[in-house]
Homo-oligomer: A and B are copies of this chain.
Amino acid sequence: MSPPQVHIVVGLSAVIVAVRGETPVVLTLSRPLEVPAAGEALGLAAVPSAVGADGWAEHPGAAERDAIPFGPLDPVGDRTLELGLRRWVREQTRLQPGYLEQLYTFADRERSRVGSARVISVAYLALTREEEVSGAGEPRWVPWYEYFPWEDWRGGRPSVLDRHIRPALEHWAAGGSDPAVSRTRHSRAAVAFGWGSAPWDPNRVLDRYELLYEAGLVTEAWDDQPNPQPPQAASATGRPMALDHRRILATAMERLRGKLSYRPVVFELLPVAFTLLRLQRVVEALAGDVLHKQNFRRLVVTGGLVEATGAVETNTGGRPAELFAFRREVLLERPAPGLGLPRRKFPAGQ
């Protein structure tokens, strides 16, 4: 049968996000499922196992890296990609995420090889309330800012930006093969990280990660290098993940941050009733920035996004807070109902 052929694996992967208190967490497997290697049948249930010779452990360190839930599409049984993904997630984590949205399809030859097969991985974003997870693969919830320390501005501008990232990126930019390349690199870095006149844009998570990758400042960038050079400052640029999973996570964060402002997605992460401060904290956690309390309340209440339930929560540490619930009718009233994020321009305060 025809020329020597490279096997294609259509994989489905899920970034499953929840919020624990004020921390966004992602579901990761420290012991991922083995993926069928070239020549094996596709779309049959994969068997959990230690990492084998031809599985994930292709490049150094991969075995110990966190991975997101992943499984191949069953071309016969799975009617749609989304159904296939739900199946996998259920099997691997016993979670039934309510909200599920396709993110992006990754297929770079060099960045997501598994064994010798070419991997096409379709990534999804799932939102859920935090729950106990269990199952093969040792699932656990990891705070997403462990992977992206520079994305959390709630405590002010993260120091790693100026202490490590900026000098390293500038060094990289300056080292461009010719002046034009250097200029492009500088400008890209400025836009992505908000240097010079450019402002920091909380979205653009992916731009930033990709820049760090290109500049060799994240561990993953060295995975497939012939001489696995030790990334010097890489320890400052967050915890690495398996394959290109950190890139997928960056995509998820970017999408979620963007969507916050025009779709009522936060409520997927909250219980039915919540105080306004809780809602605000969750939004802040995701956006990685601090908001103005009174204006947030105004936005959300007079904007018709929530409605009072009448009940109150008393253990607030101060005056009891009213409990609110998402107001579904808003979908019928406004074209793009979300939280336009009442930024806070200056230092701190209430």
Contacts and interface: CB of A to CB of B under 8 A. Distances in A.
Nearest to A188: B331
A288 to B, nearest CB: 14
A323 to B, nearest CB: 26
Interface string A24-47: 000000000000000111111000
A105 B118 contact: no
A248 to B, nearest CB: 13
A81 to B, nearest CB: 5
A196 B332 contact: yes
A333 B41 contact: no
Interface residues of A, number: 46
Contacts of A5: 41-42
A120 B73 CA distance: 10
A120 to B, nearest CB: 6
Contact of A79 (B40, B42, B110): B110
A107 interface: yes
B80 A2 contact: no
A266 interface: no
A11 B41 CA distance: 21
A187 B333 CA distance: 12
A159 interface: no
Contacts of A41: 1-3, 5
Interface in A184-223: 187, 190-191, 196-199, 201, 203
A99 interface: no
A180 interface: no
Given A2-B40, A6-B76, A120-B120, 17 more contacts: A1-B41, A3-B41, A6-B43, A7-B75, A8-B42, A8-B73, A10-B120, A80-B107, A80-B109, A81-B105, A102-B104, A120-B122, A187-B332, A190-B332, A198-B331, A198-B333, A201-B335
Interface of A: 1-3, 5-8, 10, 39-44, 73, 75-76, 78-81, 102, 104-105, 107-110, 118, 120, 122, 187, 190-191, 196-199, 201, 203, 331-336
7 contacts: A2-B40, A5-B41, A8-B10, A80-B108, A197-B333, A201-B335, A201-B336
